[in-house]
Amino acid sequence: MGTTSVDVLTIGAGGGAYPAAFRLASAGLTVVMVDPKGVMSGNCLAEGCVPSKAVREMAHHMYRSVRFREFGIEGGSAVDYARIVLHKDRVQKTRYAQHQKELEAMSNIRLMKGHARFLDAHTLLVDHGKGSERIKSRYVIVASGADIFIPPIPGASRCLTSRDFFSLNPSVTDIPESLAIVGGGYIGVETAAMYRILGSAVTVFESSEEILGGVETSLVRELRSLLDPSIRILTEVSVDEIRKSDCGFEVRYRKRRGPEGRESAMEVLFVQKVMIAAGRHPVIPEGTERLGVGIGSRGILVNPAMQTAVPHIFATGDVNGITPLFHAAVRQSIVAAHNILGGERSCDQFDASSVPTTIFTIPAVSYVGITEDRAREQGLSVLKGEYRYSEDSRAQILGEPGGGIRLLFESGSLRLIGGSVVGVDAGNLIGEIGLALSGGMTAYDLARFADQHPMASEGIGKAARSLL
Ligand code: ADP
Dihedral (CA of 166, 328, 354, 372) sign: positive
Distance 221 CA to ligand 1 centre (A): 35
Which residue in 111, 133, 131, 114 sits closest to 123, CA to CA? Answer: 133
Residue pair 418/371 in contact (Cβ under 8 Å)? The answer is yes
**Of the residues 141, 144, 314, which should be mutated to test ligand 1's pocket, given the most ligand atoms within 8 Å of the CB?**
144
Tell me, in angstroms, the distance from the centre of ligand 1 to residue 213's CA.
Answer: 25
Contact 253, 274 (CB under 8 A): no
How confident is the model at residue 358, as a pLDDT?
Answer: 98
Cα separation values, 198 from 174, 188, 194, 319, Å: 10, 15, 6, 33
Give residue 65's pLDDT: 83
Which residue has a Cα nearest atom 27 of ligand 1?
Answer: 12
Which residues of the chain fall short of a pLDDT of 50? none
Pairing verdict, β 115-118 and 248-255: unpaired
Residues near ligand 1 (Cβ within 6 A): 11-12, 14-17, 34-37, 42-44, 115-116, 143-145, 283, 285, 317-319, 326, 329
**Cα 445 to middle of ligand 1, angstroms:** 40
CA distances from 160 to 105, 136, 269 (A): 38, 39, 16
Residue 253: closest CA among 238, 233, 234: 238
pLDDT score for 22:
98
Identify the pLDDT of residue 42.
94
How far, in Å, from the CA of 181 to the mean position of ligand 1? 26
pLDDT at 258: 60
Give the nearest ligand 1 atom to 285 CA: 23
What is the rounded distance in angstroms from the CA atom of residue 429 to the CA atom of residue 425?
6
Contact predicate 8/139, CB 8 Å: yes
What was the pLDDT predicted at 261?
A: 63
